């Protein structure tokens, strides 16, 4: 697996990816609001009142209203600028998060490589100590070395194998 593929897979699961996606969507929504004709959605209000509950004098009042909020001078431009800044911030946050994730991924990869190298080194050492223990045992049988040397070599081999 390449680093790029690992980064893409990790990015799909990263919380930072969801956060930056939310920031990007919010910036897009702000852009849409800034490009709209009205400062806020138009609304329709309807109200009806009468005096039946108190005096029943026959008074009635009905109100119908339409609200169409207009942009104040410069407000639309400011809103568009804010939306663009938010979009740039979201993109920068995504890049920072991806770079941070890539750094963490590289660090984990190097840790894995170091552990694998240590494992290979430990296996090599155990094999070397096994050969040494066998050689010392042959020399003990031949009378060249004392039995204590064979026991020491065997202990070293067993200690290395236990790791």
What burial class does residue 20 get, using C-beta atoms within 10 Å of its C-beta: 0-12 exposed, 13-18 middle, 19+ buried? buried
Give the number of other Cβ atoms within 10 Å of residue 155's Cβ: 12
Q: Give the residue ranges of the chain where pLDDT is below 70.
A: 56
Single pTM value for the model? 0.63
Per-domain residue ranges of the chain: 3-51+60-162
**How high is the pLDDT of residue 51?**
76
Summarised one tens digit per residue, pLDDT across range 115-155 is 999 999 999 998 998 898 888 888 888 888 888 888 888 88
């Amino acid at each position: 697996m390449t680093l790029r593929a690992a980064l893409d897979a990790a990015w799909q699961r990263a919380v930072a990816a969801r956060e930056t996606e939310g920031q990007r969507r919010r910036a897009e929504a702000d852009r849409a609001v800034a490009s709209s004709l009205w400062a806020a959605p138009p609304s329709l209000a309807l109200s009806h009142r009468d005096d039946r509950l108190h005096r029943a004098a026959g008074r009635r009042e009905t109100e119908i209203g339409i609200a169409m909020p207009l942009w104040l001078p410069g407000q639309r431009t400011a809103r568009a600028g804010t939306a663009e800044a938010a979009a740039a911030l979201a993109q920068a946050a995504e890049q920072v998060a991806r770079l941070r994730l890539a750094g963490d991924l590289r660090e984990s990869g190097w840790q894995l490589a170091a552990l694998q190298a240590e494992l290979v080194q430990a296996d090599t050492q155990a094999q070397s100590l096994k050969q040494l223990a066998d050689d010392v045992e042959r020399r003990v049988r031949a009378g060249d070395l004392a039995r204590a040397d064979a026991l020491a070599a065997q202990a070293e081999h067993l200690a290395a194998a236990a790791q």
